[in-house]
């Protein structure tokens, strides 16, 4: 029986693309670099900051390291106001909380606690895991597995709710169910937005997630 629901943050709980793009552009401005293109803005939506800098500038490059240092000096605080909760987010979380334990696993790093605090998510989420809490970011399964260990839940009793192929691969590698939000990611189970999630999860009580083809 399903007992744990784990959410991605960006694109699932929040429309945060404008906030993240504005933040990364502030970092790039400090480096004297041009702002993100539309394609880099899309990739910034699901990559961790380190993954993004490595992809943009090359792994272990001097410019990538400079970006990491600049990012530590740019306060994300002003950008929270650009994040928009998904429609009826609180009502959905309240509904799910009656039946499941709730957690968040995101490729965000130092802003995980800030998101929880800013939007008072601790009323619903019992655990929030980011890249600073595990050895490897998604698409590796580390943060989902950390949630499973924390709640002492078997993979068959958990579902990960995400909106990218990175999320899908992490769920497969961890052996948990996966629900895709929106239409960008091919998946067996999907919802247009979170308001459809409670009804969908009721059908998961007798389903078993597919075994991953391999670990990352």
Q: Residue-wise pLDDT tens for the chain (216 aa)? A: 899 999 999 999 999 999 999 999 999 999 999 999 999 999 988 889 989 999 999 988 999 999 999 998 999 999 999 999 999 999 999 999 999 999 999 999 999 999 999 999 999 999 999 999 999 999 999 999 999 999 999 999 999 999 999 999 999 999 999 999 998 888 899 999 999 999 999 887 645 565 544 443
Of residues 136, 124, 80, 117, the one with CA closest to residue 100: 124
- Answer whether 143's CB lies under 8 Å from 158's CB: no
pLDDT for the residue numbered 97: 97
d(CA 142, CA 48): 14
pLDDT for the residue numbered 213: 45
Mean pLDDT (the chain, rounded): 92
Q: What is the pTM of this model?
A: 0.90
Q: Which residues contact 47 (CB under 8 A, 6 or more apart)?
A: 55, 107, 137, 166
In a 13 Å sphere around the CA of 213, the CA atoms on its Cβ side amount to 2
Token couple for 119: 């939007």
């Amino acid at each position: 029986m399903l007992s744990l629901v784990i959410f991605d943050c960006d694109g699932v709980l929040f429309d945060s693309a404008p906030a993240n793009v504005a933040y990364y552009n502030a970092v790039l401005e400090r480096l004297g670099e041009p702002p993100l293109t539309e394609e880099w803005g899309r990739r910034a939506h699901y990559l961790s900051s380190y993954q993004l800098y490595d992809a943009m500038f090359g792994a272990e490059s001097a410019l990538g390291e400079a970006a990491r240092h600049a990012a530590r000096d740019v306060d994300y605080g002003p950008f929270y106001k650009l994040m928009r909760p998904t429609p009826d987010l609180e009502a959905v979380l309240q509904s799910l909380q009656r039946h499941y334990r709730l957690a968040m696993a995101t490729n965000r790093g130092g802003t995980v606690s800030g998101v929880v605090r800013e939007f008072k998510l601790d009323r619903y989420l019992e655990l929030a895991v980011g890249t600073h809490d595990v050895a490897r970011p998604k698409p590796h399964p580390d943060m989902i597995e950390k949630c499973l260990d924390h709640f002492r839940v078997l993979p068959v009793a958990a579902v990960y709710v995400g909106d990218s192929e990175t999320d899908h691969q992490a769920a497969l590698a961890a052996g948990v169910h996966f629900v895709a939000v929106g239409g960008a990611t091919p998946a067996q189970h999907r919802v247009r937005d979170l308001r459809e999630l409670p009804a969908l999860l009721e059908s998961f009580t007798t389903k078993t997630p597919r075994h991953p083809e391999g670990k990352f």
